[in-house]
Amino acid sequence: MVTINPSRWLIGEIVILVRFYKLVVLLVLISGCNDQRQSSSLNEVLDSGVLKVGTSYGLTTYYNGATGPVGFEYELAEGFAEYLGVKLEVFPYYTLNELFPQLQNQHLDLIAAGISVSPLRSKKFKFGPAYQRVSEKLVFKQGKVWPRDISSLNGNLVVTTGSSHSESLNNYQAQNEQLSWQETDEKDVEELLELVLSEELDYTIVDSNILALMRRRYPELAIGFSVSPEQDIAWAVNKEQDDSLLAAVIEYFGLIQSNGVLAALEDKYFGHLRQFNYVDTVEFIKAANQVLPEYKAWFQTYAGDLDWRLLAAMSYQESHWDPDAVSVTGVRGMMMLTLDTAKYLGIESRLDPEQSIKGGGAYLSDLLRRIPDRIEFPDRLWFAIAAYNVGLGHLEDARVLAERQGANPDMWVDVKIRLLQLRQKKYYKTTKYGYARGNEAVIYVDNIRRYYDTLVWLDEQQPETPPRAIQLEEASQAPLSESIE
C-alpha cells in the first residue's frame, strides 16, 4: 500500500511558507525602491483584494461549463489568485484587439489567454515564464490539394485580427510579395476552422494546442505546414508598471512547476491529445451516430453516478460497441468482462449487451470506491479506469514506485509514468505484483478520454434531436492522405 510520508508533506508545506516569505520580502524591497506616494502593482492587487485577469473565450482558455467557469487558463488564474490570497475577477473578451488595450490602460492586472510571446508583443508587454510551447499550423480540408509551403497557397486565407498569425504572415510577406490574406474580428479561430470544413474558406492558421482539440471533433482538418517554429506561451503584464506583480507571477509558476500542479493541469486539458489518428476518429464519430443510439439507454441506466458518456467511451475502447466481441485472452462482450469479474458481479451472460453494460458500470463504480478517498477527481477517475484495464494491484505498484521516486502517488500525471516502468525488469522485480503491460493502461486511459470528449461535444451539438436522427457525413470516404505535423 502507498502511505503518506509525513516528513515529505511537511517539507512541502515549509517550501510554500518559504516562497510566501520571499514574496513578502520582495514586495517590501520593491516598495522601498519606489516613490512612497506610488503603490506597487502587486501592492495594489493585495490592497484591493481582487486580481483582475483578462482572457478570451475559447476551448483552451475560458468558457462557462455545466458547473461554472472552466478552462486551462481559468484554472491557472484561479490558482494564482488563491496564491495571493485575493478574489479572482475574470474579464473575457471576444477578440485580442479588445483585450490588449485593457491591459495597456491598466484596467486589467494581467492577461491569461494562451497568447504567444512574439517579438512584436514583447515590445509592448512584459511576459511571465513560459508554461507551454505551441507552433502555428496552416490548416486546410482533407482531400484538397496539399499546400506544402507558403508559396503553394492558392486560395483564400483568413486569420483573426491582432493574432500572432497575422504577425507571422507579415514576416513571410517580406520574402513573398504575392502573399495575401484577410483578417477578421467577426470570427474566432473555431469558426474559421468550420468555414474551412464547409469549403467557404481555403485556409486558416491555428495554434497547435487548439488544433489538437478541434481535430477530435473535425478529423477532416488537415495540416499543410508549420507557419512558425514553436513559440512560448506566457501571461502578459503592463510594461509601464513596476515588476512586483511580474515577480509574483514568476514565483507562482515556479511553485506549481515544482509541486506538479502545472503538469497535472496541462495533462488534464491536453495530455490525452498528443496523438491523432484520422481513421480512428472518423470511425468513432460514425459509430457514435449510427451504432451508439441502440445502446444509449442502457449506458444512461447503468452509469450510476458517472456520466453515461464516459461508460460509453470505455465500451467503445473495449469492444467498439460490438456485443459479440471476444478477445484472445477470453474477455467478452460490450465491456469485455472476464469470467471471474462477471461471476463476482452476478452477470449471467457476458454476450448480452444489457448485462455487459450493467456489469461494466458496476465494476467501474466498485473500482472507484476502492481508490483512496484522498485522491481527487479527475485523477481518481483516471486511476479507476486504468485499474479496469491493468488491475488494482498493478496500479498500486505504480503508485508505490511513484512515491519511491519522490513523485506524487495521488496524481495521474506522475503515476502514468510509473505504469510504463512496470514493463522494465529493474522496476517490476521490486513490486508486489511484478510485470505488467502498463503502457497499454496509459494508452487505454488516453483513448477513453478522447472518445469521451468527442461524445460530450456530439451530445451538445444535438441537445433536442433524437440520436437516431443524427446523420453523419460519410467522412470515411475522404482520401486518407497524411499531413505532417
Catalytic residues: 318
- Listed residue (34, 130, 37, 141) closest to 76, CA to CA: 130
81, amino acid identity:
A
CA gap 100, 17 in Å, rounded: 34
> Which uninterrupted H or E stretch holds 358?
helix 353-370
With beta carbons less than 8 A apart as the criterion, state whether 246 and 21 touch: no
Dig out the grid coordinates for 419 from the structure. Answer: 505504469
CA gap 113, 213 in Å, rounded: 16
Tell me how long the chain is.
485
The string over 354-383, giving b where at least 16 C-beta atoms fall within 10 Å of a residue's C-beta and e elsewhere, is ebbbbbbbbbbbbbbeebeeebeeebbbbb
Query: β-strands 110-111, 50-56: how paired?
Result: parallel
Give SS3 for 326. Answer: strand
CA gap 287, 478 in Å, rounded: 17
- What single-letter DSSP state applies at residue 188? -
| CA dist 397 → 98, 374, 419, 445 (Å) | 51, 18, 8, 17
| CA dist 343 → 212, 359, 391, 394, 417 (Å) | 41, 10, 17, 22, 33
Alpha-helical regions (H) of 34-95: 41-48, 72-84
> Which uninterrupted H or E stretch holds 157?
none
With beta carbons less than 8 A apart as the criterion, state whether 398 and 418 touch: yes
Cα four-point dihedral sign 366, 371, 374, 377:
negative
With beta carbons less than 8 A apart as the criterion, state whether 438 and 421 touch: yes
- Which class for 123: exposed (0-12), middle (13-18), buried (19 or more C-beta within 10 A)? exposed
